[in-house]
Amino acid sequence: MTIAEKLVAEYLDPAKGAACLTCSFQAEDMVVLHMARQIEPRLPVLFLETGYHFAETYSYRDQMTREWSLNLVNLTSGLSVAAQETQFGILHQTDPQRCCALRKVEPLMAGLAGYSVWFTGLRREQSPSRANLAAVELHRLPPGREIQKVSPLAEWTGNEVWSYLAAHGIPHLPLYDQGYPSIGCEPCTAKPQDGAHPRSGRWGGHKLECGIHTGTQEDG
Ligand code: SF4
């Protein structure tokens, strides 16, 4: 068993409390999901349904949900895309921070309320903003309650991720084949410049994180 697999098993122990995985159906998430579902096939898989994803992402999400019988939980904003655009305009162009707050951060923080363990597919190598990521961190939810955020792949390289997918015959989101190394909402995802880090194509390079990973601190 690898260190990552041991970590997954350790934090899926019911003694740690209810667990979930946030999943944008990128390669890393599929690795953690593959490890976790061998122990807990009904692990809640939280997908931030912003309404702005690529058609390919929705299609791959639905394919894998079907093939793996996933316990998919779509987390949505209280505002539909149409209502948000009518009320505030195209926020992903004018104020992406607010758009992410409405469509990602608030729904996720509410969605995490029932859990004690939050698995992610984050890796240090993905971006300078993740360079100090620890495999186990404490995350403070808005009411002040702390939960354990577990990133079993924190130390993995991209090659290790892709080797794992290949070794286990796991299909990947087809957008990777079009040259996107990091995939989020369609309006905020572009291909990075040559040699730039994988997340540099997100939000036109103006920011690196949507805000769902703020409030986290290293756990010792
Ligand atoms: S990534 Fe872009 S479209 Fe998606 S919620 Fe954030 S600003 Fe809005």
Active site residues: 210
Angle between helix 158-167 and helix 27-37 axes, rounded to 10 deg: 50
The H-assigned helical ranges of 68-103 are 81-88, 91-94, 96-100
SS3 67: helix
State residue 157's pLDDT score.
96
Question: Which phi and psi (to 5°) does residue 59 adopt?
Answer: -65, -45
Amino acid at 171: P
Q: What is the pTM assigned to this prediction?
A: 0.91
Number of domains in the chain: 1
DSSP class of 96: H
Cα–Cα nearest to 24, from 57, 71, 65, 63: 57
Span 105-131, pLDDT tens digits? 999 999 999 999 999 999 999 878 888
Cβ of 153 closer than 6 Å to ligand 1, yes or no, is: no
Span 23-73, pLDDT tens digits? 999 999 999 999 999 999 999 999 999 999 999 999 999 999 999 999 999
State residue 203's pLDDT score.
65
- Whether 101 and 211 have beta carbons less than 8 Å apart is answered as yes
Contacts of 117 (CB under 8 A, 6+ apart): 11, 12, 16, 17, 18, 19, 20, 147, 148, 150
Q: Is the pLDDT of residue 139 over 60?
A: yes
Q: Is the pLDDT of residue 202 over 80?
A: no
Instruction: Name the pLDDT band for 210 (thresholds 50, 70, 90).
Output: confident
Match 């079009």 to its residue by tokens: 178
Cβ of 52 closer than 6 Å to ligand 1, yes or no, is: yes
Handedness of CA 78, 93, 189, 86 (dihedral sign): positive
Q: What is the CATH number of the domain that holds 94?
A: 3.40.50.620
Measured in angstroms, how far is the CA atom of residue 203 from the centroid of ligand 1? 8
Measured in angstroms, how far is the CA atom of residue 188 from the centroid of ligand 1? 6
SS3 61: helix
What value does the mean pLDDT take over residues 201-211? 69
d(CA 168, CA 135): 23
Q: How far is CA 11 from CA 52, 122, 135, in A?
A: 32, 16, 11
Q: What tokens does 133 get? A: 């990521």
Cβ of 107 closer than 6 Å to ligand 1, yes or no, is: no
Cα–Cα nearest to 200, from 106, 129, 107, 96: 129
Ligand 1 site-directed mutation target among 103, 182, 213, most atoms within 8 Å of CB: 103
Task: Name the residue with the closest Cα to ligand 1, atom 1.
Answer: 185
109 vs 191, more confident: 109
Highest mean predicted confidence (pLDDT) among 85-89, 189-193, 202-206:
85-89
Q: Is the pLDDT of residue 219 over 50?
A: no
- Whether 130 and 212 have beta carbons less than 8 Å apart is answered as no
Measured in angstroms, how far is the CA atom of residue 220 from the centroid of ligand 1? 32
Full domain range(s) for residue 181: 3-218
